[in-house]
Amino acid sequence: MSNLSRRDFIAASTSIGVGVPPTIGLLAAGGIRAPQSGNARAEDDPLGVRGDFPVVRARTYLNSAYITPVPSQVVAAGRRFVERKAERPIPLGEMLRATDEVRGQFARLINADSDEIGFLFSTSEGENIVANALDLKAGDNIVIDDLHYETEFVLYRHLQDTRGIELRVARHREGRVEARDFEPLVDRRTRLVSVAWVSHHNGFRHDMRPLADLAHAQGALFYVDGIQAVGMFPTDVKAEGIDVMCAGTYKWLLGSFGVAPFYVRRDLLDRIRLDRYGALHVERTRSDGGFDVYKTAKRFDYSTLPFGEVYQLGAGLAYLERVGVGRIESHTVALARELRAGLARQGYRLFTPEENHSSIVTYYTTKDAAAMTAAFDRASVDVTVRGDSGQVRVSPALFNTRADIARFLEVSRTLV
């Protein structure tokens, strides 16, 4: 083995059979099991999952739009990966095959094909790759809305300064942005329309298809930041007309940091060109010494991935599949609407529009941020307090219950 080059080793290791599919074998060894219903009454644990989430033992955690706690099955997968590294490190070929299994899991979740899924390191990386691939020139424009994530403003303001493009921003109306708000801004010089499927600001869930149709009618690409959407509710990139989407996995996908699936519609793979190169996206070495890179979205997997996090993601996706994302949506959106109604009765002004279909609720407050944080801390309730904007964001997940919402409302009542 010591005489093999790294490239020869990769080729050889990916051809070795291991008897048991790598992800299945590792996860089974790590104690992965089906979600547990325990002895809780159905109304206390409608999805039968609370026994799997250690976070519920001591806290009322309502901050999953920030970071979603993982179930014990994901913990077991991560632990077993580290144990294997300590006892007998997993061969690279096995880890690459496991990555392909996870690629397939994610593809099923969003109704894509596995050859349309690559792996990046963060959601922001996805939009940077797309922006760099567009050959933007002075006079081109990019259209986003003011509910988008901060990365887009940093990225496109930079390109405005360095390339002379124009950043156009659709403004929300009472917490929502619709296709009619984008329409006056999109024209033949628009190269990209970019939105967060669900806004991290207030949980607003965009109606995607009209936005896709608007972009495509002018020849623009439609890019989606999916980090606050995928895993929260069923997502179908084909039906929604999405061209490119990236989603970090430490929120609703029950994964960790450092891995972000990157969907690129198959017929756009040549257009979203590579801007970095490495050993791991080489499909074959030519006789002339050159290299052929994968033609699928695997072409974006150019370097060593955080494989431990990939294995954890596999466990998280398996968990979501067993529970059912549709069931998760029904449960968590109902909690969010109950939460919003309770806040309205208490007299708070809501940033999240009524009848919104996500599990994120944001409201305004004039109270001191430090005092609010201390009050929530004393009650062992976790939420996001935004002192700079006078907002509080609350985001129930699959393990939360109506009792959690009631407990939060008890605290918010004291802070009106």
CATH number for the domain including 395?
A: 3.90.1150.10
Q: What is the CATH number for 125? A: 3.40.640.10
Portion of the chain with pLDDT greater than 70, in percent: 90
Whether the per-residue pLDDT at 34 is higher than 70: the answer is no
Statement to judge: residues 221 and 118 lie in one domain = yes
Q: Give residue 41's pLDDT band: very low, low, confident or very high (50, 70, 90).
A: low
Of 255, 271, 304, at which residue does a domain stop?
304
Residue that terminates a domain, selected from 304, 333, 352: 304
196 and 276 in a common domain: yes
Query: Is residue 297 located within the same domain as residue 340?
Result: no
Whether residues 196 and 123 share a domain: the answer is yes
Asked whether residue 180 falls in the same domain as residue 219, the answer is yes
- pLDDT tens digits, one per residue of 68-123: 999 999 999 999 999 999 999 999 999 999 999 999 999 999 999 999 999 999 99
279 burial level (CB within 10 Å; 0-12, 13-18, 19+): middle
Q: Do 152 and 300 belong to one domain?
A: yes
Residue 101 lies inside a defined structural domain of this protein: no
Same domain, 296 and 342: no
40: in domain: no
Query: Is the distance from CB of 175 to CB of 204 less than 8 angstroms?
Result: yes
Say yes or no: 291 and 168 in one domain: yes
| 48 in any annotated domain | no
CA distance 193 to 304: 31
- Residue 198 is given by DSSP the state B
Is the pLDDT reported for residue 324 higher than 50?
A: yes
pLDDT tens-digit map of 382-411 = 999 998 899 999 999 999 999 999 999 999
* Distance separating the N- and C-terminal Cα atoms of the chain: 68
pLDDT band at 30 (very low <50, low <70, confident <90, very high): very low
- Does some domain include residue 12? no
Domain count within the chain:
2
Say which amino acid occupies 71. Answer: P
**CA pair distance 335, 56, nearest whole angstrom:** 16
Could you tell me if residue 120 is inside a domain? yes
Q: Quick check: is 409 in a domain?
A: yes
Q: How many Å apart are CA 401 and CA 331, to the nearest integer?
A: 9
Domain that holds residue 196: 113-304
Contact indicator for 177, 145 with CB cutoff of 8 Å: yes
**Percentage of the chain surpassing pLDDT 90?**
89
Same domain, 204 and 248: yes
- For strands 141-145 and 190-196, give the pairing: parallel
Instruction: Lowest mean pLDDT of 9-23, 184-198, 309-323, name the range.
Output: 9-23
Same domain, yes or no: 285 and 152: yes
Task: Please give the structure tokens belonging to residue 230.
Answer: 């995928």
Residue 26 has pLDDT above 80, yes or no: no
Q: Give the mean pLDDT of 237-261.
A: 98
Residues 252 and 367 reside in one and the same domain: no
Distance of CA 369 to the CA centre of its chain: 28
Residues 244 and 125 in one domain: yes
Angle between helices 22-29 and 307-323 (to 10 degrees): 80
**CA angle (106 as vertex; 103, 107 as ends), nearest 5:** 85
